Structure 1
Amino acid sequence: MSQSAPPPQPEPVDAVPPAQPAPTEAAPFAAQPGTVPPPLVAPAPPKDNVAVGLVAAFGAAVVAAAVYGVVIGLTKHEIGWAAVGVGFVIGLAAGRIGGRNPALSVVSAVLALGSVYLGQLVGEAMIGADTVGVSFNEVFFQHFGVVQEAWKADADPLTFVFFAIAAWAAFSAAKKAAA
């Protein structure tokens, strides 16, 4: 047995399609019939990877100390913008990767102090190795006490200004990078 489909029913004449809001001057691009509104996107959750941020800041501090030391060793001068760069790189790494935790800014400043100190020691060792005519490794690793004494003898008020500059740069960069 086969059944046939019922015949189509005519639409009532008095049916009026629903009214669409007309674009106005306040909203010239009002939704058109049949359009789908864009999906709402939730903002990304704030990062809070303190441990990963600390590891990144420590790695950046070691690399920045090496680069700063090489700059000092090659130029035989401390350079202020390089100290700013040391602090900035450390703070940037901590803030971008670690998030908004206020401890990251403080730790970044402390790491910047250590990084500048280590970089200055590397620079002293490079200068000493060049002066004496031996390898950097021998001076830095076998005569580290002599390197520290040379650093103390060469330290002046400007040396400590570079410490402050690097710590300030790290602190502020960590806060700004996390924002």
Structure 2
Amino acid sequence: MSQSATPPQPPAQPQPVDGNPYAEQPGAVPPPPPAPYAPPAPPKNNIALGLVTAVVAALVAAGIYGVVIGTTKHEIGWAAVGVGFVIGLAAGKLGGRNPALPVVSAVLALGAVYLGQLVGEAMISADLLGVSFSQLFFDHFDAVQEGWKGDADPLTFLFFAIAAFAAFSGTKKAAL
């Protein structure tokens, strides 16, 4: 009689310690989900966008700086630094690494601080004279400038330098 032999069985796989019998099988772990779609980064080195943004930031910052001076009746140095840094940040973030942007930002910061100080001077003088700000600032701009010249001291020009430096370095740092 012939005895039927059972085919040899593969050796039993040891059970994993966590109790999952399917953990060691190929394909048992699902693949990671696909990464979500990320839109491409905006293009850098757009000098036109950087310049337009820096000019708008300079005008807004000059107005705010002027209102701060007119309200407090004092020049505030850190506010001048903020004016420069905001201009530099705007130019660098949207304009990129163009080498002209830090220089243009520094020049715009000088103009913005000057304009802000003129606005502040006009606000203070308008209160003292009992006239409207717009009448004094737009109709008698030469008198506002003369008043600014009379009030300017070395600290005023230090604020100019610090604001220009903040704009220059802020543009370089924001463009990284």
> Which TM-score tier does this pair reach, normalised by the shorter chain?
0.7 to 0.9
Q: How does 1:123-138 map to 2 (within 5 A)?
A: 123-138=120-135
Give the TM-score taking structure 1 as reference length: 0.77
Q: How does 1:29-178 map to 2 (within 5 A)?
A: 33=27, 35=31, 44=41, 47-178=44-175
Amino acid at match of 1:121: L
Change (3 A) 1:45 1:125: closer
Identity of aligned residues (%): 75
- Once residues 98 and 67 of structure 2 are traced to their aligned partners in structure 1, the CA distance between those partners, rounded to angstroms, is 32
CA displacement, residues 111-156 of structure 1 (integer Å, 9 cap, x when unaligned): 0000000000000000110000000000000000000000000000
Number of aligned residue pairs:
148
Q: How far apart are 1:38 and its partner, in Å?
A: 6.6
Amino acid at match of 2:64: V
- Structure 1 residues not aligned, in runs of 5+: 1-31
- Once residues 42 and 118 of structure 2 are traced to their aligned partners in structure 1, the CA distance between those partners, rounded to angstroms, is 41
- Structure 2 residues not aligned, in runs of 5+: 1-25
Amino acid at match of 2:47: V
Q: How far apart are 1:35 and its partner, in Å?
A: 4.0
